[in-house]
Structure 1
């Protein structure tokens, strides 16, 4: 085997061992998500003002890992007005098949606390 390649492999091995010895195992096991996580969060409500509606769309994505994403709509307790349907681009019929706001929000908060 080429001497340069052997030296490079030894340096890599030594670096990984040093990371492990400095409690880097948790970081290694977390993968790229453990290295950097900055979430972009978007929430949409069922009414034209937050005071009158509830959150029905929960969205978050890690700006460093697009596979680290949460995107789910929830069924509101009160049906959307025609104006809200037009603005949101979603209908009451589409939301009828979604999980409850309580269920979705529970999963969303677990996702963002990682």
Structure 2
């Protein structure tokens, strides 16, 4: 391989490495919030079937930034059955002072659309 080609390849490799390092440093300094966002979403319902229940737990977390998360319970319109309380691990008295499903859903939709 001739010297000019080897020097050109080394320059390209060094430039790409420098670009990678600067991008990595910027990402590190800025934090990952907003730069890469992949949400893991978990929803829990008040019943075993969607026809009878409603979403009462809204949870989402950015897999790249665990500070970027949403986690809120909502008060169901119809009280949980004893079986639902057992399965969910939450009681009607714990949900009594939560916000309505509509209010939580609105904030959740805003959170995931950022």
Query: TM (normalized to structure 1)?
Result: 0.73
Who is 1:4 aligned against?
none
Paired position in structure 2 for 1:101:
101
1:15-30 superposed matches below 5 A: none
User: Per the alignment, in what secondary structure is the counterpart of residue 59 of structure 1?
Assistant: strand
Give the match for residue 83 of structure 2.
83
- Equivalent residue runs for 1:33-48 within 5 Å: 33-48=33-48
Give the structure with the larger helix fraction.
1
Instruction: State how many pairs are aligned.
Output: 89
Superimposed CA distance per residue, residues 64-86 of structure 1 (whole angstroms, 9 cap, x where no aligned partner): 00000000000000000000000
Distance in 1 of aligned mates of 2:89 and 2:59: 16
Supply the distance in 1 between the matched residues of 2:44 and 2:112 (Cα, whole angstroms).
16
TM-score computed with the length of structure 2 as normaliser: 0.73
CA shift for structure 1 position 35:
1.4
CA shift for structure 1 position 31:
5.2
Structure 2 unpaired stretches of 5+: 1-17
Whole-angstrom distance in 1 between the partners of 2:55 and 2:40: 16
State the alpha-carbon separation in 1 of the partners of residues 85 and 76 from structure 2.
12
Give the greater-gyration-radius structure (CA). 2
Task: Look up the SS of the partner of 2:85 in the other structure.
Answer: helix
Structure 1 gap ranges (5+): 1-10, 17-26
1:50 Cα deviation after fit: 1.4
